[in-house]
Structure 1
Amino acid sequence: MALWSGRFEEGADAFTQRFGASLPVDKALYAQDIAGSRAHAAMLAAQGVIAAEDAAAIDAGLADVLGQIEAGEFAFDVNDEDIHMAVEGALTAAIGEPGARLHTGRSRNDQVATDTRLYAKKRATDLMAANVALRQALIAQAEAHFDVILPGYTHLQHAQPVLLSHHLLAYTWMLARDFRRLEAARDAADACPLGAAALAGTTYPLDRAMTADALGFGSVIPNSLDAVSDRDFLLDLLYACSVSALHLTRLCEEIILWSTAEFGFVTLSDAYSTGSSIMPQKKNPDFAELIRGKSGRVIGDMVALMMTVKSLPLAYNKDLQEDKEGAIDAANTLEDCYICAAGMIATLQVNPDAMMAQARKGYLAATDVADYLAKKGLPFRRAHEVVGHLVLLCEKRGCDLEDLTLDDFKAECDLFEADIAGALNLEAIVAARTTYGGTGHEAVRAQLAEAKARLAADEALLA
């Protein structure tokens, strides 16, 4: 029987009951729902709204329901509209009249908002932990291959040589920002709506601070209308998930490219590759591709919720039943992607010789040759033009800058001397970039220490 059946002479037919039910989705919030109900019952007893013995029976009954669900022994009834009805129905069937007193001073509107906030807090924390694990894997690879040089790219064209460690650390900083966004989403959910009732509060002498404290919330939402209708915290979580999913697509796109025969920079572990049903030689980066592809789901979940809350009048509307499925899916998807990416990075085999071979192509020393002339007094724009002519000469001859003679250099500019050879050495080019944030060895050592310190600080937040 529906909780609101007293007003109606007819029940919903089978289709509308199924269409309106949220149990298939919101049963994932069973732990949060039971925690909220236990806190609510304890507060009602403390305020003298229900008897202490009723509260004790409710608490014991809810603990039993929780145990049944976690043991896989709870029978969800298809006639239950949502997790709240499923839990309350089982409780009342087990303990009788005290169970019917549980909902005093409460509406499903503030109940579901409380459940969803508790769930968002938990999942944001879970994602922060998975984020940390991926950063650990990236930092470990950066340390293990600290001195490896590869070509840096702009427009996917060879640009300047960089350390692989520098390249990998770029992703740790993206993920560190993602950690902050997830933390902000967790903080946004950290306010308790319980006690707002349907929309206007209640005449019962509820102690909203008591339930907020019992549930671990940092504050109480001050406006009952806002308390039941706000879903900004879910948008914050979905945005954080979406941005991080996009960052993972960038990482995975590079892994996919680097693992091709054309690049050959890395070899994926067999555990993170698949073969072909027809081509026996294939080793496909399917899991990197899946991570890249799953970003569409996460971003779609965010857009879906934005459209759901668009133009909703105060306070609660049934549209908000659609808020949870996308958030649950996005959090689950991103967590799986984090876990998969961490394993893939941790088991990645780096091929330094292939990286260096490519770094020796594409005139990666060109900028340093221009800087060489600028340091000798030639205006940089003129130096840029001189080196452009030298590159054109190399293209016509089919050689690289290091293959040119000193006479070739002097033919373009008499400022060139024999020491120009130092500006053509890739190791020296990389090592010379010592400014903060640069790719030079000393700069990257400092950056690595900073990345590890940030990681340690973030790990401490989760302790």
Structure 2
Amino acid sequence: MSSQKHNKLWGGRFDGRTDQLMESFNASISYDKRLWKADIAGSKVYSLALSKCGLISEHEQLAIHDGLSKVGEEWSEGTFQIIESDEDIHTANERRLSEVIGANIAGKLHTGRSRNDQVAVDTRLWLRDEIDKISKHVATLINNITNRAEKDVDVLFPGYTHMQRAQPIRWSHWLMSYAVNFLRQQNKLQEIRKRVNILPLGSGALAGNPFNVDRELMAKELGFDEISWNSLDATGGRDYIAEVLFWASQVSCTLSRLAEDLILYSTKEFAFVTLSDAYSTGSSLMPQKKNPDSLELIRGKAGTIIGKCTGFMVTIKGLPSTYNKDLQEDKIALFEVCDAISAVLQISAGVIETLSIDSDQMKKALSLGMLATDVAYYLVRKGVPFREAHSLSGMVVKKAETDHCEMNEIPLTDLKTISEHFDEDVVGVWNFENSVEQYQAPGGTSKSSVLDQIAKVRQNLVTH
């Protein structure tokens, strides 16, 4: 290979030309250009730190700051021109800065800085803002769930275990089971944000910064809570990205379960809910079809998100310490997962807000067989030990099945042959409203308990 002059940030040590395929294989500008705003913000603050320790003059610092603002305007307006030699966002911005203010001044910006700590601060800045956006999407979803739960608080429908009718509950109680889960996930995301919001800039390639730049100043200027404690960890650690990917995987699993429930409830066999046209599609062949594609895609995206998380964990599991080029893959997974979870959360919020329910159909789905546990509780209140009451209730169920009737149709005389504790007041058991209202303990499905859940969730929701 013939020698050539290099305009790469690392070109001085090399004489040979980089293979053309290697050029494109090595480049990340196609996706890390999303970091342009964070890269410019980090560079502006780093120039300030260089000025404070006397490595550049105030005039040079101002020129760099204004030049970077010009570069930022080009990105914002969509006029920034990426050229073939722009290996990544850092190279592109520094190249353009050199064109705007001259290479002599622009070339001082990277003093003591490595792309290792540069990309680390860029990613953390970008991710911090993305977490705030995602948290707002979670808040919107939770708000939509709680609003609907409050509106539909009097609606009863079957609760299921093992996909079998189990006990009558409030529709709003089912809704709040997801609201509580999503609130917990939002709290987790806020905790992750604290670990993301740590400044790695000033760590250099791995050994630190030799010019004693004021890292505390940079942290303050960029809004970080603290500075990283160890330069090797700061440049090579990606646990904060893994945390976000795992968080998104957890949330997507819950969203997938929500979607699965609603898909079932929207079938003709259940007919509990109807999705709005805004979140449904049709069939190219069957005109009658109204498909819950929004919910199916929510369910499908969970696999994509989990796959990205798993793939990234496999990437980092065998890496030696500090920075390795493998870590360039982190942004592919991070960007795709953040895009996916943001979309899924927003679609889920829209589905919940706009779907309609058939409260009559839900009521029809309630069957007296679901009150078998209430029979046991009735006997417990008469002083029968629960294990015995459970067995006696089972005998009542068996009697109804044998006689081909409902439990409330069994004559009192026959009930007394099962247990002498049955009396005239057993008629109060055959009431679905009474059934749900007995669950007054916090967390239960009574109206007061559900309203308390709604209040607690709203009180603890992070909306900013």
Which TM-score band applies after superposition, normalised by the shorter structure?
Answer: over 0.9
Q: CA deviation at 1:395?
A: 2.4
Instruction: Report the TM-score when normalising by structure 1.
Output: 0.97
From 155, 166, 185, the equivalent of 1:178 is 185
What SS does structure 2 have at the residue aligned with 1:36? helix
Moved more, 405-414 or 101-110: 405-414
> How far does the alpha carbon of each residue in 1:310-336 deviate from its partner, in whole angstroms, 9 at most, with x for none?
121121111111111101111110010
From 73, 82, 106, the equivalent of 1:99 is 106
1:242-321 to structure 2, matched below 5 A, reads: 242-321=249-328
Give the Cα–Cα distance (whole angstroms) in 1 for the partners of residues 295 and 365 of structure 2.
23
Give the Cα–Cα distance (whole angstroms) in 2 for the partners of residues 394 and 188 of structure 1.
59
Give the Cα–Cα distance (whole angstroms) in 2 for the partners of residues 400 and 60 of structure 1.
81
Residue 220 of structure 2 corresponds to which residue in structure 1? 213
From 363, 371, 378, the equivalent of 2:377 is 371
> How far does the alpha carbon of each residue in 1:15-45 deviate from its partner, in whole angstroms, 9 at most, with x for none?
0010011111111111111100000011111
Give the Cα–Cα distance (whole angstroms) in 2 for the partners of residues 301 and 118 of structure 1.
21
Give the Cα–Cα distance (whole angstroms) in 1 for the partners of residues 173 and 400 of structure 2.
29
Give the Cα–Cα distance (whole angstroms) in 2 for the partners of residues 64 and 77 of structure 1.
17
Residue 61 of structure 1 corresponds to which residue in structure 2? 67
Q: State whether structure 2 residue 57 is matched by structure 1 residue 48.
A: no
Moved more, 336-345 or 70-79: 70-79
From 384, 392, 409, the equivalent of 1:386 is 392
Q: State whether structure 2 residue 24 is matched by structure 1 residue 39.
A: no
Contact 1:182 1:241 in 2 (8 A): no
Give the Cα–Cα distance (whole angstroms) in 2 for the partners of residues 375 and 91 of structure 1.
80
Residue 199 of structure 1 corresponds to which residue in structure 2? 206
What SS does structure 1 have at the residue aligned with 2:365? helix
Letter in 1 for 2:450: V
Q: State whether structure 2 residue 124 is matched by structure 1 residue 117.
A: yes
Letter in 2 for 1:382: E
What SS does structure 2 have at the residue aligned with 1:443? helix
Moved more, 376-385 or 1-10: 376-385
Residue 410 of structure 2 corresponds to which residue in structure 1? 404
Structure 1: any 5+ residue segments left out of the alignment? Answer: none
What SS does structure 2 have at the residue aligned with 1:359? coil
From 165, 168, 186, the equivalent of 1:158 is 165
Residue 10 of structure 1 corresponds to which residue in structure 2? 16
Moved more, 382-391 or 423-432: 382-391
> How far does the alpha carbon of each residue in 1:155-212 deviate from its partner, in whole angstroms, 9 at most, with x for none?
1111111111111011011101110121122111111111111111132131111111
What SS does structure 1 have at the residue aligned with 2:30? helix
Give the Cα–Cα distance (whole angstroms) in 1 for the partners of residues 286 and 216 of structure 2.
64
> How far does the alpha carbon of each residue in 1:65-99 deviate from its partner, in whole angstroms, 9 at most, with x for none?
11111111111123211000011001101110211
Give the Cα–Cα distance (whole angstroms) in 1 for the partners of residues 148 and 394 of structure 2.
36
Give the Cα–Cα distance (whole angstroms) in 2 for the partners of residues 254 and 397 of structure 1.
34
Residue 454 of structure 1 corresponds to which residue in structure 2? 460
Q: CA deviation at 1:350?
A: 1.0
Q: CA deviation at 1:250?
A: 1.1
Contact 1:124 1:186 in 2 (8 A): yes
Letter in 2 for 1:409: L
Give the Cα–Cα distance (whole angstroms) in 2 for the partners of residues 116 and 302 of structure 1.
17
Give the Cα–Cα distance (whole angstroms) in 2 for the partners of residues 223 and 449 of structure 1.
43
Give the Cα–Cα distance (whole angstroms) in 2 for the partners of residues 216 and 248 of structure 1.
32
From 354, 376, 395, the equivalent of 2:401 is 395
What SS does structure 1 have at the residue aligned with 2:168? strand
Q: State whether structure 2 residue 451 is matched by structure 1 residue 445.
A: yes
Give the Cα–Cα distance (whole angstroms) in 1 for the partners of residues 402 and 58 of structure 2.
92
Give the Cα–Cα distance (whole angstroms) in 2 for the partners of residues 403 and 273 of structure 1.
43
Q: State whether structure 2 residue 93 is matched by structure 1 residue 87.
A: yes
Contact 1:150 1:356 in 2 (8 A): yes
Contact 2:199 2:219 in 1 (8 A): yes
What SS does structure 2 have at the residue aligned with 1:85? helix
Give the Cα–Cα distance (whole angstroms) in 1 for the partners of residues 336 and 188 of structure 2.
18
Coordinate RMSD, CA, aligned? 1.1
Give the Cα–Cα distance (whole angstroms) in 2 for the partners of residues 440 and 398 of structure 1.
31
Contact 1:188 1:236 in 2 (8 A): no
From 224, 228, 232, the equivalent of 2:235 is 228
From 241, 246, 263, the equivalent of 1:239 is 246
Contact 2:442 2:449 in 1 (8 A): yes
Q: CA deviation at 1:391?
A: 1.3
Give the Cα–Cα distance (whole angstroms) in 1 for the partners of residues 377 and 171 of structure 2.
23
From 13, 27, 38, the equivalent of 1:21 is 27
Q: CA deviation at 1:14?
A: 1.3
1:291-370 to structure 2, matched below 5 A, reads: 291-360=298-367, 363-370=369-376
Letter in 1 for 2:390: H
What SS does structure 2 have at the residue aligned with 1:159? strand
Letter in 2 for 1:107: S
What SS does structure 2 have at the residue aligned with 1:314? coil
Q: CA deviation at 1:394?
A: 2.2
Give the Cα–Cα distance (whole angstroms) in 2 for the partners of residues 22 and 40 of structure 1.
23
- After superposing on structure 2, the runs of 4+ consecutive aligned residues of structure 1 that deviate more than 6 Å are none
Letter in 2 for 1:349: S
Structure 2: any 5+ residue segments left out of the alignment? Answer: 1-6
What SS does structure 2 have at the residue aligned with 1:279? coil
What SS does structure 1 have at the residue aligned with 2:17? coil
Give the Cα–Cα distance (whole angstroms) in 2 for the partners of residues 427 and 203 of structure 1.
73
Q: CA deviation at 1:400?
A: 2.3
Instruction: Report the TM-score when normalising by structure 2.
Output: 0.97
Give the Cα–Cα distance (whole angstroms) in 2 for the partners of residues 306 and 226 of structure 1.
17
Contact 1:5 1:11 in 2 (8 A): no
